[in-house]
Amino acid sequence: MQNAGMNALGLNWRYLAFEVPPTRLADVIRGCRAMGFIGLNLTVPHKLLALDLVDHIDPAATEWGAVNTIRFEYEAAPGTWRPLSEFTGDRLPETRAAGFNTDADAIIKSLAEDLHITLEGKSVLVLGAGGAGQAAALRIAKSGVKHLHLVNRTETKLPPLLAQIQHQNPDVTATAGYPKTPVDLVINATSLGLRSTDPLPYDSRAWDISDAGAAYDMIYRPAETPLLRAAREAGRPTANGLGMLLHQGAKALELWSGRPAPVDVMKHALHQQVYG
């Protein structure tokens, strides 16, 4: 997806994947900076660790509690930092690592595009409160939802998250546990569904899928998870997380390059890569 996007923009860049142990993340960020990398994407388990390892944090990354994109920047004028991609000199200048989060907005974009859902005044059930679930819950709460219901296997993760949601969005009713009345949307942000043998990500004795107007699964491989199958069989519209993956990547490319991302090219490449 990224290489297709970079090619389409005519950039002589390459996007490569590296497996990095969490204990070496600081070294890796420093090393990439020293070698003149344009930027980085980070995934599990680095997104939270990176908050403390970058030189500058975009306010959205602080707000959503995670960094998934780093942009290396040079000081174009005293106190003015610009993307390294804009540097035209011969010698690599001193740079800083700036941390961003492109995940949170990507889910809102994907919900609008793939399920035609806008969240204002809606009731939403979010399953899972790991890194992605927390960022999604905080972002969705900010989108004007009326009721937010949160369920997580480890229940102790919920009270601090609920407190943060209420503090930032006093108009939203946020509660732990399955809703007693129908919701407009259920979102799976657990890792249940990644394997073909996985059970449903919710307790079907406590809650029924027909009580959701639509279902979204952050998982995109397999294309249809147990949640999405159950929702489809109940006649509900469904979407998987491929759109979220696409839009977080497109936004990252825009941050690095300073140019609009060729989203259609990236989407095509992503579909080819993930589904063949």
Question: Strands (DSSP E) along 45-190, which ranges?
Answer: 56-57, 69-77, 80-83, 95-100, 123-127, 147-151, 173-176, 185-188
In terms of phi and psi (left: phi > 0; alpha: psi -120 to 50; beta: otherwise), the region of 67 is beta
Q: Is residue 192 close enough to count as binding ligand NAP by CB under 6 A?
A: yes
In the structure encoding, which two tokens stand for residue 220, read together?
């995109």
Residue nearest to ligand NAP (CB): 130
Nearest-angstrom CA–CA distance, 101 and 106: 10
CB of 169 to ligand NAP, least distance (A): 21
| Planar angle of CA 50, 52, 56, nearest 5 degrees | 90
Q: Which of positions 210-229 make contact with ligand NAP (CB under 6 A)?
A: 218-220
Among 2, 123, 169, 248, binds ligand NAP (CB under 6 A): 248
Nearest-angstrom CA–CA distance, 273 and 276: 6
Contact indicator for 70, 54 with CB cutoff of 8 Å: yes
Which residue, 55 or 198, is less far from ligand NAP as judged by CB?
198
Catalytic sites, residue numbers: 47
In the structure encoding, which two tokens stand for residue 147, read together?
């009721």
Q: Are strands 95-100 and 69-77 parallel, antiparallel or unpaired?
A: antiparallel
CB of 155 to ligand NAP, least distance (A): 8
Q: Which range touches ligand NAP (CB under 6 A), out of 7-15, 87-95, 126-134, 138-146?
A: 126-134
Nearest-angstrom CA–CA distance, 203 and 209: 10
Q: Which range touches ligand NAP (CB under 6 A), out of 34-42, 186-194, 204-212, 227-235?
A: 186-194
Among 2, 69, 102, 152, binds ligand NAP (CB under 6 A): 152
- Binding marks (x or -) toward ligand NAP, 50..89, rule CB under 6 A? ----------------------------------------
Contact indicator for 54, 29 with CB cutoff of 8 Å: yes
CB of 63 to ligand NAP, least distance (A): 17
Nearest-angstrom CA–CA distance, 24 and 149: 37
Which residue, 131 or 179, is less far from ligand NAP as judged by CB?
131
Among 39, 83, 133, 213, binds ligand NAP (CB under 6 A): 133
- Binding marks (x or -) toward ligand NAP, 26..55, rule CB under 6 A? ------------------x-----------
Measure CA 96 to chain center: 23
Q: Which amino acid is at 259?
A: R
Q: Which range touches ligand NAP (CB under 6 A), out of 23-31, 147-155, 164-172, 173-181?
A: 147-155
Residues near ligand NAP (CB under 6 A): 44, 103, 128-133, 152-154, 157, 189-192, 194, 218-220, 241, 244-245, 248
